[in-house]
Structure 1
Amino acid sequence: MAKMNIENVVASTSLGQELDLNAIEDALDGAEYNPQQFPGLVYRLKEPKTATLLFRSGKVVCTGAKSLDDVKVAIGKVKEDLKKAKIEIAIDPKIEVQNIVASSDLEQEINLNTVAITLGLEKVEYEPEQFPGLVYRLDSPKVVVLLFGSGKMVCTGAKVPEAVVRAVQKIAAELRSASLMS
């Protein structure tokens, strides 16, 4: 079984109130707010290594986490840091995963031309002159997998880690059943 590594978890929440991003930038070390470039404030944490985007509406997006637990820790730290800066957050934010990006390796080379023909062109995009990977859109789980000739894969669009595991297992099984992989 190919092993899977979560590379990035993107999650969002709402703090349930409007935020004064200028005041937050002044209060938090490492906060960056430049509304001419981007409408949100960027707050980076070293542990867990994440970037949290805070918007005036109170919406929050956390990116760079390696797990859902890291997301929860990061958003908890942001809430605590806001509290220390005299910005009280009244609610306990409900976190919703938007996207999980994970990598995997089938540990053998794959002939992408043969894969593209075998898996069917309705779910596969492969234009090696444009991009070296084959784009495979799965319906269940609903994810997109980039498959490279090296056997390495990148899976995106998952909401739970189990979806990535199922996608990798499904692709490996399809390649084996078509005798494209040992």
Structure 2
Amino acid sequence: MVGSGRLGNKIVLQDVVNKTNKRAEMRKNCVLLKLTHPKSSAMLFPSGKVVCTGQFTEEGLKAAAQKVAQLLKHIDFHVSLSDFQLENVIGRADAGFRILVEELALRYPDVTTVCLPACT
């Protein structure tokens, strides 16, 4: 699952990296935080947006985002989590037979871009 929310203030990414003792990794346009409790990952953007992944429930995702806000408050950022929402859910199942994605894309071209974006 993937969820996102707003922290209410802009974030200085380099300050987060410097003050989190190896828990944060600088990326091109965000900071990647690895959380242990709840076990998840969070991307922080300079705009104050946070995107969390790695949980199996919406409550777990929200708890991870709240943990990020708590961590940022601890290192002197004035933030509060708001507008948290579920963005994406991924599932898997064993169909018991092989599914040929390319054939599905050819047979159902009108839904290919929605369901199978990698086939376009």
Q: Which residue of 2 aligns with 1:110?
A: 97
CA RMSD of the aligned region, Å? 2.5
- Give the gaps of 5 or more residues in structure 1: 1-8, 125-136, 146-182
1:42 is matched by which residue type in structure 2?
L
**Secondary structure of 2:46's aligned partner:** coil
Q: Which residue of 1 aligns with 2:115?
A: 144
Q: Which residue of 2 aligns with 1:19?
A: 11
Written as runs of structure 1 = structure 2, the 5 A alignment for 1:39-58 is: 39-58=29-48
Change (3 A) 1:110 1:43: same
Q: Which residue of 2 aligns with 1:93?
A: 82
Taking only the aligned residue pairs, the percentage that are identical comes to 26
CA distance, structure 2, for counterparts of residue 111 and residue 80 of structure 1 = 46
**Secondary structure of 1:26's aligned partner:** helix
Deviation of the 1:122 alpha carbon: 1.9
Deviation of the 1:20 alpha carbon: 0.8
TM-score, length of structure 2 as denominator length = 0.77
- Give the gaps of 5 or more residues in structure 2: none
Deviation of the 1:69 alpha carbon: 1.3
Written as runs of structure 1 = structure 2, the 5 A alignment for 1:1-182 is: 9-29=1-21, 30-34=23-27, 38-89=28-79, 91-106=80-95, 109-110=96-97, 112=99, 121-122=107-108, 137=111, 144=115
Deviation of the 1:12 alpha carbon: 1.3
**Secondary structure of 1:101's aligned partner:** coil
Change (3 A) 1:60 1:112: closer
CA distance, structure 2, for counterparts of residue 84 and residue 70 of structure 1 = 21
Higher share in helix: 2
CA distance, structure 2, for counterparts of residue 12 and residue 92 of structure 1 = 10
Higher share in strand: 1
CA distance, structure 1, for counterparts of residue 26 and residue 66 of structure 2 = 20
CA distance, structure 2, for counterparts of residue 122 and residue 60 of structure 1 = 36
2:85 is matched by which residue type in structure 1?
E
The higher relative CO (CA closer than 8 Å, separation ≥ 6) is in: 2
**Secondary structure of 1:87's aligned partner:** coil
